[in-house]
Structure 1
């Protein structure tokens, strides 16, 4: 029984990982990506629903004196999902810019405060040699009039990125796989603990 619950947790974890990556991929196909409040709200609702669904699948029938370690594992699973989405976004962006990104010499035309709800600090507004706006990046030590090389996505799905086109992010795919493996092991442990705790429940009266 214990190993059956642990085995059930593995495909449940895989489905959660696939859902997280699917949401990231879907957002990457939109011109606004993560910088749209509606997209972020929709992703949050779907991800929250996925975590609630996983909780029901792995419901462990614990008493009020549940093991603290299991609670920690559940939090760790949620963290794995969040990290999967973050790494997945970076992977998709770097892969797209590696395949189709175009290097452009840009000039800093202005400095401004971050415009998005999740942006902090100062941004450098960029334009190309023909004075066409390219977008903005983190200002760092840049000043108005500075010239830098940036990479743009001709399809406009990703914003401008500092530096030349990145290399193929193979190591990030490996990192994603490792995170998925850790998440599967954690959910399997939760499922095993669920079955073990249920074995100590008294039989139900008929």
Structure 2
């Protein structure tokens, strides 16, 4: 009887394609992680700043993260369409084949990131947790949401490279400014 009531856990319609991050702390995000083998997935890893002192944009960490992304995307047959590494979080736009391969990619990538960031391959890490939340994923349904996420990740990358931050961000941008993002 308990198992049947657990499987009927309903999520709010707005969050039916989302999982992880801060949603996990509320009732909204406690269902199964929605994944799709046909649609792209927006993936966000957020680190705990106390655990990683220099951030993710330091040269050593940045190159290490890029190597790990390439390595495990090949291993689990996941294509990375776009990636933006910020000081305290990472945005990745991926497409995968099988659900099990995407799940393995998420699990191994999070674990390897954490081990490499804390240099704990043989000993247990005794300090702060590396990840602030579980990885946030959102299945992107349709072309317009895909374009918005793609532009958002590109804007994050430009801001990491020195473009000034704006509160309105994508909503206040004209068509010409959106084109300049991709130049």
Please say whether Structure 1 and Structure 2 have the same fold, judged by a TM-score greater than 0.5.
no
TM-score scaled to structure 2, two decimals? 0.30
Greater C-alpha radius of gyration: 1
Considering Cα pairs closer than 8 Å and 6+ residues apart, tell me whether 1 or 2 has the greater RCO: 1
Using structure 1 for the length normalisation, give the TM-score: 0.28
**Which of the pair is proportionally richer in helix?**
1
